[in-house]
Amino acid sequence: MKINEVIRKYRKEQNLTQEQVAHYLGVTAPAVNKWENGISYPDITLLSPLARILKINLDTLLSFHEELTDAEISVIVKEIIELMKKNGYESGFERGENLIREYPNCHNLILSLAGILNAYRSILSVERNEKYEAKIISWYEMEASSDDSEAANTAIASLGHIYIAKKEYNKAQNLLDKIPQPGYDKRMLQAILYASQDNNQAAYEIYEKMLYKAANEICSILQLIIHLQCKEEKMDYALTYAEVAKQAAELFDLGSYVAYTPKMFVKIQTKNKEESIELLEQMIDGIDTIGDFKTSPLYSHMKFNEVGNRKEMIELIKKALENDEELDFLREEIGFKRILKRLKE
């Protein structure tokens, strides 16, 4: 909550009038009214006595430790995406920056906003990119020093990817060295404990979350191996791995869009126009299958957040196709123009 909302909420909980609060603090009732309506703010010297009369601490008054739920964060992310698409990247970035100031200790919010704003820098071909990148890095650096180990490790990993892309390899290695070696995963034992207590729903949910995470990690690792093989021009090996990645995506119900992505990447690297366009069309056909895992029997006990819809996904893909320099060899092809037109329609 904003400070004006906090003041109003706790004043009413203490059954105090604005006049009583004003008298205690030595200010006027209209001043308190302005605070509660967000028109002005209390002087810094009044914060401690204000917190005392409201019977809260300064952290609560200033919302330093306020957390947002995953559902609330999901709504915020969607709002910022819509804002960027409608009014441009800068407006979305400013909104995200203000929210991070408002919730400086909400790790999930900061990491979610840093991630989405970092991704859209490339998607929207943002000008003054370095300015935004520096701010995003500062958010990740702040989280990397957090007492929350999970948030810190996530931030360190994200920073590592940024530094690798910038070819600042020493910084990336230094960050990587800070991440502790993986220890025992207590989730498995927790699930066994739940099952022993006949809490099968909770056990299923843990097992399925582990399965879903592992399935995505398998596909990501295969994709990274394919990138490496293409870099070394080992295209036959890359195609073999692409077929394995396709089977994995199908086996774990991740959707045909995910299944066709690795092979399309290989064909783009070889500048094979005909097959690249054919695979792109198959991927577009598979857009509606991206969310298939949500209805898969493999993950039937899991709860998934709504983080996007078909229209948003199509818009992202269209932007990527329009801006990806690796696709320049396809720009004048009739089939490629047909795909872009199809996405716009």
Whichever domain contains 124, its CATH number is 1.25.40
Task: Provide the pLDDT confidence category of residue 186 given band limits of 50, 70 and 90.
Answer: confident
Task: Provide the pLDDT confidence category of residue 245 given band limits of 50, 70 and 90.
Answer: very high
Same domain, 130 and 277: no
Please give the Cα distance from 210 to 243 (Å, whole number).
24
Q: How far is CA 178 from CA 142, 156, 172, 206, 301, in A?
A: 14, 8, 10, 28, 35
pLDDT, tens digit (0-9, with 9 covering 90-100), for 263-320: 999 999 999 999 999 988 888 887 777 777 888 999 999 987 654 556 777 777 888 8
Nearest alpha carbon to residue 6 among 43, 72, 50: 50
Same domain, 256 and 311: yes
The total of structural domains in the chain comes to 3
The residue among 12, 43, 61 that closes a domain is: 61
pTM: 0.63
The pLDDT assigned to 310 comes to 65
Same domain, 193 and 274: yes
Task: Provide the pLDDT confidence category of residue 47 given band limits of 50, 70 and 90.
Answer: confident
Mean pLDDT of the chain: 87
Please report, as a single letter, which amino acid is at residue 11: R
The pLDDT assigned to 65 comes to 53
Same domain, 340 and 197: yes
- The pair phi, psi for residue 342, each rounded to 5°, is -65, -40
* HSE-up (13 A, CA, CB side) for residue 210: 13
Same domain, 193 and 333: yes
* HSE-up (13 A, CA, CB side) for residue 283: 24
The residue among 154, 178, 202 that closes a domain is: 178
Residue ranges making up the domain that contains 256: 187-344
For the domain that residue 35 is a member of, what is the CATH number?
A: 1.10.260.40
Same domain, 334 and 242: yes
Same domain, 77 and 15: no
280 burial (CB, 10 Å; 0-12 / 13-18 / 19+) is: buried
Q: Out of 45-59, 217-231, 240-254, which region has the weakest mean confidence (pLDDT)?
A: 45-59
Same domain, 251 and 315: yes
Same domain, 88 and 151: yes
The pLDDT assigned to 1 comes to 61
Same domain, 171 and 210: no
The pLDDT assigned to 183 comes to 55
The pLDDT assigned to 275 comes to 92
Same domain, 213 and 87: no
SS percent in the chain: helix, strand, coil, step 5: 75, 0, 25
The residue among 129, 156, 178 that closes a domain is: 178
Same domain, 164 and 278: no
